[in-house]
Amino acid sequence: MAFKLSFIFSCVFFLVSSVPRVFSHFQNPHNGLLFNNTDQSPFGFLKDMQGCSKGKNVKGIRDLKRYLGHFGYLNNPQVAYPDHFDDDLEAALKSYQVFYHLNATGKLDGPTVSRMVMPRCGFPDKETHQRGNNNSLHTVSRYRFFPGRPKWPKGKRHLTYAFGSRFPTRFMPPVARAFSKWAVASRYFTFSRARTYRGADLKISFARGAHGDGAPFDGPGGVLAHAFAPTDGRLHYDAEDRWAIGAVRNAYDVETLALHEIGHLLGLGHSQFQNAIMWATFRSGVTKRLNSDDIRGIRSLYGS
């Protein structure tokens, strides 16, 4: 139990130290309306840097480093990075490119920028980046676990969930379906809705900006949602993105993101298999389902 609490604290500390510096400059200055997304992505600054390579001194490189630091590819995301494309940045880019099956050039080339600007889950792909080591998370097949493989205690096979007071009623059934699909896939867990939010094992809500968990959202089009490793239980959607049920143009499917974030709640990290629900990036107007890679991952973690 002490290890799990320590792991959760370390994740939250990592996010606290990195996220505000990474994205605050690019946040939408307006609050906007819930489910109304007309603003540019906070990752859009990367497009202006396409073609950068080692040895260059270009304004914005420090923000590229913060991006990679936040998502686990570069150490010390809390330090004041210089605007210099150094050896560490080249190694971090190569690590990112390997993870996403891109050509490992170490340069900010077109395919890499196209991948990096995509909306995504806010949880890091890796714990930290270590030069020469692309296996920070325990890897079996293409699914991945968190460091130390945190999971729900043995015997805790029934989990309750609840929605925050401002969670739209029409979005509750898609999330409930996502829980049902994980129950079937895991052959281990069952889920039911709790009577109270406070008493639930898993707490699901919409939030915007800084919302008290040390991982502030960045406005439309960047980080879509995030959740924490066991046994924290929190799952948050960014209220400034546009959400829908099913494949709706220019909107993100609530159930698809629920499937992904519930995977984190149960102990899965980001998969390196693009068809897996635990792949980190998402497209608007597209739905996804659990893949055999996700199913093998959860059954391996819990021995079911």
Half-sphere exposure of 129 (CA within 13 A, CB side): 27
Q: What is the mean pLDDT of residues 147-168?
A: 96
Both 120 and 184 in one domain: the answer is no
Residue 67 lies in a domain: yes
The model's pTM is 0.82
Segment 254-278, tens digit of pLDDT: 999 999 999 999 999 999 999 999 9
Distance between CA atoms of residues 212 and 231, nearest Å:
18
CA–CA gap between residue 204 and residue 234 (Å, rounded): 6
Evaluate whether residue 1 is within a structural domain.
no
Q: Are 142 and 272 in contact (CB under 8 A)?
A: yes
Span between the terminal Cα atoms of the chain, in Å: 22
Q: What is the pLDDT of residues 10-38, one digit of tens each?
A: 343 333 333 333 333 333 322 222 333 33
**Average pLDDT rounded to a whole number, residues 199-219:** 96
Instruction: Kindly report the CATH number assigned to the domain that includes residue 54.
Output: 1.10.101.10
Task: Tell me the catalytic residues.
Answer: 261
Q: 67 and 215: one domain? A: no
Give the CATH number, domain containing residue 272. Answer: 3.40.390.10
Q: Domain span at residue 284?
A: 144-302
b/e map of 164-186 (b: 16 or more CB within 10 Å)? eeebeeebeebbbebbebbbebb
Last-in-domain residue among 130, 163, 189:
130
The model's pLDDT over 229-247, given as tens digits with 9 standing for 90+, comes to: 999 999 999 999 999 999 9
pLDDT digits (tens, 9 = 90+) for 77-120: 556 788 899 999 999 999 999 999 999 999 999 999 999 999 99
- Report which of 214, 254, 255, 256 is spatially closest to residue 234, judged by C-alpha positions: 214
